[in-house]
Amino acid sequence: MSVFTGAGVALVTPMNQDGSVNYEKLAELVEFHIKNSTDAIIICGTTGEASTLSDEEHIECIRYCCEVADKRIPVVAGTGSNCTQSAIDLSVKAVEAGADALLVVTPYYNKCTQNGLKAHYKAIAEAVNVPIIMYNIPGRTGVKIMPETVVSLCEEVSNIVGVKDATGDLSEVADVLGLAKKRGVQVDLYSGNDDQIVPILSLGGKGVISVLSNILPQETHDMTQAYFDKDTEKAADLQLKYCDLIRGLFCEVNPIPVKKAMNLMGMNVGSLRAPLTEMEDVNAAKLEKAMKDVKLI
């Protein structure tokens, strides 16, 4: 069974004015997503600024999110690292904190081989008893999980269940799902790009791990649900409706724009942690226009 189908939110980590994690606001965001039909919460991923959280903050965010969600919605915890042992340690602690599944990014900077990726993911999977979704984002990590590696790991390891694909390459997605179908292997593939939700669903994807869901949770859920309900016209219309907004959300590196958008909407999620900085004025103006066009502000 899939960890989830539909629209999972890549949740931001809200900050207080002094830069500390705002747990009260985090609870509000979890309730907001449950109320607005989000299908899963992905905590401490790229959008959650996991790379600038201390290990203690990282685990506390996961624990607190799981406590508030209280099994009403799956919580997927980001636990990747470029050090295999660090990823194992973080994954074990995340499961102890209540995570229903893990999102594990490829080791960054090291640029390991495909054999290295296999050994990395197998070691993590052996240490935990929850499903693992691999995270393929070569633009950030410098290494790509090749289709053969994705399918082999899902075939060989019972709790490696799929991949979040943020390659931006639909041909790559087709290669993964085509190879999986040919070999009779179940690979749950989630879009890591909000501008490719419907195209990836059409190839057999299970949903999206979405930045857009932070500000349009119901609409992003509805986009995926329409597709599952075979109303492909509605799904496509929603995808196209939010093209400019999605472009605005990625006109600077994520999560800079989405935090700006949430603050413009009065959600008060606070600032970013260095080295991320506030949006440049010209890009902020583009984002604000796109938000006004869809009546978000």
Catalytic sites, residue numbers: 135, 164
Q: Which token pair is 152?
A: 């082999």
Q: Which token pair is 28?
A: 């509000």
SS3 163: strand
DSSP line for 74-134: -EEEE---SSHHHHHHHHHHHHHTT-SEEEEEPPPSS---HHHHHHHHHHHHHH-SS-EEE
**Any idea which residue has 């994520």 for tokens?**
254
CA dist., res. 128 & res. 159, Å (int): 9
CA dist., res. 123 & res. 103, Å (int): 15
Which residues lie below 8 Å from residue 96, measured CB to CB, with a gap of 6+? none
CA angle in degrees (0–180, nearest 5) for 10-44-24: 90
CB 208 within 8 A of CB 194: yes
Terminal alpha carbon distance of the chain:
39
Q: Which token pair is 172?
A: 């790559």
Q: Which token pair is 32?
A: 């907001």
Q: Which token pair is 104?
A: 């594990």
